[in-house]
A and B are shown apart, each in its own frame.
Chain A
Amino acid sequence: MTHRTVRLHVNGREYERTVEVRKTLADLLREDLDLTGTHLGCEHGVCGACTVLLDGAPARACLMLAVQADGARLLTVEGLADGERLHPLQEAFWTHHGLQCGYCTPGILLTAKAFLDEHPRPTRAEIREMLAGNPSVAAPAISSSSMRS
């Protein structure tokens, strides 16, 4: 009763796990799938570090239960690069020093990916608004990294 089986696609792979119904999606990813690139900064939906793409749209993995993601297709930071080749956003963040400690970086990369999928030619103001969900000391540089990617 307190456990359920969830099936989901993450980064192109299929997983099936039985989890406590109260377990968050973030904890499922981190603990049960060993995908620790999804980080927890607040666990109350403000910092954006836990952002993943759920069926293509950004979602806070700390605010969802794992069982709610049953059947979903997820992209986490581990799925961004194509093997050895970094995703262009990852390259841009690297080249333009768009990160420091790297803790909020996965969430920002995924937020930026979803945003750029919809707005291939964004303005600087749009980029800043897109980043409004991630307090970060690297924020000033991140807005320019996304701009130049």
Chain B
Amino acid sequence: MGAKYFGAAVRRVEDPRYLRGEARYVDDIKLPGMVHAAFLRSPHAHARITRIDTTRAAAMPGVARVFTFADLARFMKPLPLFGAPPPGLAARVSFTMRQTTQYGLCKDVARYVGEIVAMAVADSRYRAEDAVDAIEVGWEPLPAVVDMVTASEPGSPLMYADWPDNVAVGFTHAIGDADAAFTAADVVVRERFRVQRYVGMPIEPRGVVATYERRDGTLTTWNSTQVAHWVQQGLAAALEMPPHKIRVIAPDVGGGFGTKAAGYAEDALIPIAAIVLGRPVKWAEDRREHMMAAAHARHQVHDIALAARRDGTILAVRDRVWLDVGAYNSWGIVLPYNTVAHLLGPYRIRNLHVAFKAVVTNKTPNAPYRGAGRPEAVFAMDRAVDCLARRMGLDPAEIRRRNYLRGDELPWDLGMPYRDGNPLVYDSGDFRAGLEAALRAARYDEFRRAQPALRERGIYRGIGLSGYVEGTAIGPYESASVRLDLAGRVVVVTGACSSGQGHETSFAQVAADVLSVPLEWVTVIGGDTSAVPFGVGTFASRSAVTAGSSIHDAATALREKIIRAAATLLEAAPADIAIEDGRVLVRGAPASAVPLARVVQASIPTFAGPGVASPDFEATAYHHVPTVTWASAVHVAQVEVDPETGVVALLAYLVAHDCGKVINPPIVDGQVHGGVAQGVGGALYEEMVYDEGGQLLTGSLMDYLLPTAMELPPIETVHLEHPSARNPLGIKGVGEGGAISPPAAIANAIEDALAPLGVRITETPVTPARLLALIGAKKTA
């Protein structure tokens, strides 16, 4: 295969429809006779429903029906649960895991503000909301469980009466001998770090449209999801229908970030309403609902300790971790173990002991969001390393230099399983070289030289580092079929669903190179369960690797079929056939060239005969990836802090990263930039705030601050390329990485800026109010 497109900065093929306003998102779908749903959601954090009266609501003008749990009891199946430990992991770590059932509509007890209590359907969204307002509910409030640390202790009110405590996932995990290493250490630092609850916040909220055809028993549903096949499986179980009767389409999706990779009540409720009413039904989530009902994320507390030798060598890590999963533990061990598996990152550390408690509380359920447990691990670790450096009088760059793994030390076996149960072995990379590249590109030494003079002038500038090593592209597979049409044009279908990251371009680049056709000949279709029977979806930085590999395999098999047919057509040996720019020819005989279309057409049976080959110009692959591929990066943040106001300005941000081979550089840069933007939000602005009664205080984008171009610095990227041998393309995932390190890098930079004051940052977001309080405490101390 010639690499004509792979690695090239081609313009995205999907862009014109976006730019013209012609993209089609779920809320743009309009069907004849369509009605609109709105939800009554619990205003209480924890309360028992004593009575629901929908009479008045149901009688309102334009209202088709109002549904409660009792009305839809025959459809009420438990929502999907994920995250049981795979065998390889369960064999090594013993988890206590409890998961409880959540139904699409609340049955008796509401456990978070935003949980769905009833659904009203009317001829307009306005009237559906009027009906929601007219539903009467009797509530008996119950004690709210809010703080994750106290909730994990004996004596806390219980979320579930049949549980002994509120711990949904508990385990300890050790490698090496941390106790011995701590005893032998010269220096020990410990600190408690908190990572707040913050979320993906796609600008397109969620949405579902469904229509049911009784004549052939088929359900078609459009869903703003990253995981069309998961939604299909969930519906097949909930509706007791065969999967092929359920078509799930993820049309244009306006951002996903993991928020749209969870299983939601609305995924089933809208199809159920469509079946019961016999009419198409639409629900478009509004932002207010999204804040309280779309999955939340992050939110951990770490009590971390590092043990080191006098020379700065880090010997061991001990960590106690709490994770607030919200009211329902739908994701099992996924987030807890992701955090543990990414704690040691680029550091050469052989001893680890972690005790983990994932705790249920009366909050919106958590789900993986861009980084999924990694930003929290990296925040705890990289903040602790800076504390250690400060204690030892070492520069943060120098302590990392002494402890980062070098390329010649890889593959590096951590001696523990990854989350998929396979051995956790860093396959490729050079973390130390990445650090040096980042320091050079950020002109770290220059910054350090300039810093003292600035401080004398009262200018508090700081520089902060954070690095991570990320298991990307979790398996086990993604599906892809590649086929030719009658004109020799190429159709690629895959289970991977785009949420805006440019699949139609990147995947076309892979297929066009394998088949040696012009890029414009390739159409990529994702997010439609009718196009390919099995699939997984897009999350965990997986689609380029998993779908890309399947597209590569399928296109390679299709190429073989084309060559065999062309050999017969051109009366040559298959080995002598070449494909060039959409034409087949006998090598060395340019006059023999015919367009691909001719090969297809000559293969189709005619009255005269069966054709030169079977016209089966289609191949399907389910490339199995052995385990994750390890991407890595070092981030460098430069900040200026105004000690009078506590305002932090980001001056510059640099990412030196390795995602193996790059398919399309601007798309990769865009992924890094977007991740950094969300990480900056986590570092400085964003937080889902609850009061002590479990009431959500951040109910709008006025209360929940997202960064804009104003707050974002120029972001520079340095691409380091250490290809992975774990897939045929040599690539690694890049979707999440940008979001992992900014909280740690920025907090480290702020602490560095304020080093003369001795302020210690233990919590994000570092808001002006928080920072002023820290500065004030130091000044009065």
Q: Chain A: residues with CB nearer than 8 A to chain B? A: 20, 22-23, 30-31, 34-44, 46-47, 49, 76-78, 80-81, 86, 90, 93-95, 97, 99-106, 109, 127-129, 131-143
CB contact list, B279-315 vs A, under 8 A:
284, 286-288
Distance between Cα atoms of A145 and B499 in the complex (Å): 21
In the assembled complex, which residues on chain A have CB atoms less than 8 Å from the CB atom of B604? Answer: none
Q: Is the CB of B21 within 8 A of A128?
A: no
A41-B205, A41-B254, A141-B673 known, 10 other contacts, Cβ within 8 Å: A30-B28, A37-B22, A44-B287, A47-B701, A77-B21, A101-B202, A102-B14, A103-B500, A105-B18, A140-B673
In the assembled complex, which residues on chain A have CB atoms less than 8 Å from the CB atom of B707? Answer: 135, 139
Question: How far in angstroms is the closest Cβ of chain A from B127?
Answer: 9
CB contact list, B5-34 vs A, under 8 A:
11-12, 14-25, 27-28, 30
Q: Is the CB of B20 within 8 A of A103?
A: no
What are 19 pairs between A and B in contact, CB < 8 Å? A20-B126, A36-B24, A39-B25, A40-B286, A44-B701, A94-B16, A99-B19, A101-B252, A101-B255, A102-B23, A103-B203, A103-B254, A103-B255, A105-B19, A128-B709, A132-B709, A133-B708, A134-B709, A135-B706
Q: Which residue of A lies closest to B672 (CB)?
A: A140
Given contacts A78-B20, A141-B673, contact A101 B253 (CB under 8 A): yes
Q: Is the CB of A38 within 8 A of B21?
A: yes
Q: Is the CB of A44 within 8 A of B678?
A: no
Given contacts A38-B21, A46-B702, contact A140 B709 (CB under 8 A): yes
Partner of B670, one of A41, A77, A138, A143: A138
In the assembled complex, which residues on chain B have CB atoms less than 8 Å from the CB atom of A136? Answer: 203, 677, 708-709
Distance between Cα atoms of A49 and B228 in the complex (Å): 25
In the assembled complex, which residues on chain B have CB atoms less than 8 Å from the CB atom of A42? Answer: 287, 700-701
In the assembled complex, which residues on chain B have CB atoms less than 8 Å from the CB atom of A106? Answer: 21
Question: How far in angstroms is the closest Cβ of chain B from A10?
Answer: 12
Given contacts A35-B21, A44-B287, A131-B710, contact A97 B28 (CB under 8 A): no
Question: How far in angstroms is the closest Cβ of chain B from A58?
Answer: 15
Distance between Cα atoms of A81 and B20 in the complex (Å): 7
Distance between Cα atoms of A138 and B126 in the complex (Å): 32
Q: Is B501 interfacial (CB-CB < 8 Å)?
A: yes
Given contacts A97-B12, A132-B709, A135-B708, contact A104 B669 (CB under 8 A): no
In the assembled complex, which residues on chain B have CB atoms less than 8 Å from the CB atom of A39? Answer: 25, 27, 203-204, 254
Q: Is B712 interfacial (CB-CB < 8 Å)?
A: yes
Q: Is the CB of B20 within 8 A of A80?
A: yes
Q: Is B666 interfacial (CB-CB < 8 Å)?
A: yes
Q: Which residue of A lies closest to B201 (CB)?
A: A135
In the assembled complex, which residues on chain B have CB atoms less than 8 Å from the CB atom of A138? Answer: 670, 673-674
Distance between Cα atoms of A44 and B205 in the complex (Å): 13
Q: Is the CB of A41 within 8 A of B204?
A: yes
Question: How far in angstroms is the closest Cβ of chain A from B678?
Answer: 6
Partner of A139, one of B15, B19, B254, B709: B709
**Residue picked from B12, B21, B252, B669, most chain A C-beta under 10 Å:** B21
Question: How far in angstroms is the closest Cβ of chain B from A80?
Answer: 7
In the assembled complex, which residues on chain B have CB atoms less than 8 Å from the CB atom of A38? Answer: 21
Partner of A109, one of B19, B204, B500, B674: B19
In the assembled complex, which residues on chain B have CB atoms less than 8 Å from the CB atom of A129? Answer: 710
Question: How far in angstroms is the closest Cβ of chain A from B192?
Answer: 31
Question: How far in angstroms is the closest Cβ of chain A from B251?
Answer: 12
Q: Is the CB of B203 within 8 A of A135?
A: yes
Q: Is the CB of A41 within 8 A of B18?
A: no
**Residue picked from A103, A128, A138, most chain B C-beta under 10 Å:** A103
| Tally of B interface residues using CB under 8 Å | 56
Q: Is the CB of A46 within 8 A of B500?
A: no
Distance between Cα atoms of A84 and B276 in the complex (Å): 44
Given contacts A23-B126, A102-B18, A109-B19, contact A41 B500 (CB under 8 A): no
Distance between Cα atoms of A41 and B254 in the complex (Å): 10
Q: Which residue of B lies closest to A86 (CB)?
A: B19
Q: Which residue of A lies closest to B664 (CB)?
A: A97
Given contacts A39-B25, A44-B701, A95-B11, contact A132 B255 (CB under 8 A): no
Q: Is B715 interfacial (CB-CB < 8 Å)?
A: yes
Question: How far in angstroms is the closest Cβ of chain B from A127?
Answer: 8
Q: Chain B: residues with CB nearer than 8 A to chain A? A: 11-12, 14-25, 27-28, 30, 126, 201-205, 252-255, 284, 286-288, 499-502, 666-667, 669-670, 673-678, 700-702, 706-710, 712, 714-715
Question: How far in angstroms is the closest Cβ of chain B from A98?
Answer: 9
Q: Number of contacts between A and B (CB, 8 Å)?
A: 175
In the assembled complex, which residues on chain B have CB atoms less than 8 Å from the CB atom of A47? Answer: 203, 287, 701
In the assembled complex, which residues on chain A have CB atoms less than 8 Å from the CB atom of B205? Answer: 40-41
In the assembled complex, which residues on chain B have CB atoms less than 8 Å from the CB atom of A77? Answer: 19-21
6 closest residue pairs by CB, A with B: A37-B21, A101-B500, A102-B18, A103-B254, A137-B674, A77-B21
Question: How far in angstroms is the closest Cβ of chain A from B504?
Answer: 12
Q: Which residue of A lies closest to B701 (CB)?
A: A46
Distance between Cα atoms of A19 and B318 in the complex (Å): 64
In the assembled complex, which residues on chain B have CB atoms less than 8 Å from the CB atom of A97? Answer: 11-12, 666-667, 669-670
Q: Which residue of A lies closest to B29 (CB)?
A: A36
Given contacts A95-B11, A135-B708, A140-B709, contact A101 B204 (CB under 8 A): yes
Q: Which residue of B lies closest to A77 (CB)?
A: B21
Distance between Cα atoms of A62 and B715 in the complex (Å): 32
In the assembled complex, which residues on chain A have CB atoms less than 8 Å from the CB atom of B14? Answer: 102
In the assembled complex, which residues on chain B have CB atoms less than 8 Å from the CB atom of A40? Answer: 27, 205, 284, 286
Partner of B21, one of A43, A78, A133: A78
Q: Is the CB of A139 within 8 A of B712?
A: yes
In the assembled complex, which residues on chain A have CB atoms less than 8 Å from the CB atom of B701? Answer: 42, 44, 46-47, 135
Distance between Cα atoms of A78 and B502 in the complex (Å): 22
Distance between Cα atoms of A42 and B284 in the complex (Å): 11
Question: How far in angstroms is the closest Cβ of chain A from B613?
Answer: 39
Q: Is the CB of B19 within 8 A of A90?
A: yes
Distance between Cα atoms of A95 and B11 in the complex (Å): 6
Given contacts A93-B19, A103-B25, A139-B677, contact A46 B204 (CB under 8 A): no
In the assembled complex, which residues on chain B have CB atoms less than 8 Å from the CB atom of A137? Answer: 255, 673-675, 677-678
Q: Is the CB of A100 within 8 A of B287?
A: no
Q: Is the CB of A94 within 8 A of B15?
A: yes
Question: How far in angstroms is the closest Cβ of chain A from B767?
Answer: 17
Question: How far in angstroms is the closest Cβ of chain A from B26?
Answer: 11
In the assembled complex, which residues on chain B have CB atoms less than 8 Å from the CB atom of A128? Answer: 709-710
In the assembled complex, which residues on chain A have CB atoms less than 8 Å from the CB atom of B19? Answer: 77, 81, 86, 90, 93-94, 99, 102, 105, 109
In the assembled complex, which residues on chain B have CB atoms less than 8 Å from the CB atom of A31? Answer: 30
Distance between Cα atoms of A22 and B702 in the complex (Å): 23
Q: Is the CB of B126 within 8 A of A102?
A: no
Q: Is the CB of B204 within 8 A of A140?
A: no
Q: Which residue of A lies closest to B500 (CB)?
A: A101
Question: How far in angstroms is the closest Cβ of chain B from A124?
Answer: 9
In the assembled complex, which residues on chain A have CB atoms less than 8 Å from the CB atom of B20? Answer: 37, 77-78, 80-81, 86, 90
**Residue picked from A35, A42, A102, A140, most chain B C-beta under 10 Å:** A102
Partner of B16, one of A86, A103, A104: A86
Question: How far in angstroms is the closest Cβ of chain A from B699?
Answer: 10
In the assembled complex, which residues on chain B have CB atoms less than 8 Å from the CB atom of A46? Answer: 700-702
Distance between Cα atoms of A47 and B254 in the complex (Å): 13
Q: Which residue of A lies closest to B18 (CB)?
A: A102
In the assembled complex, which residues on chain A have CB atoms less than 8 Å from the CB atom of B286? Answer: 40, 43
Q: Is the CB of A36 within 8 A of B28?
A: yes
Q: Is the CB of B500 within 8 A of A140?
A: no
Question: How far in angstroms is the closest Cβ of chain B from A81?
Answer: 6
Q: Which residue of B lies closest to A132 (CB)?
A: B710
Question: How far in angstroms is the closest Cβ of chain B from A1?
Answer: 14
In the assembled complex, which residues on chain A have CB atoms less than 8 Å from the CB atom of B202? Answer: 101, 103
In the assembled complex, which residues on chain B have CB atoms less than 8 Å from the CB atom of A41? Answer: 203-205, 254, 287
In the assembled complex, which residues on chain A have CB atoms less than 8 Å from the CB atom of B706? Answer: 135
Question: How far in angstroms is the closest Cβ of chain B from A110?
Answer: 10
Given contacts A78-B21, A102-B252, A138-B670, contact A131 B709 (CB under 8 A): yes
Question: How far in angstroms is the closest Cβ of chain B from A45?
Answer: 9
Distance between Cα atoms of A3 and B285 in the complex (Å): 26
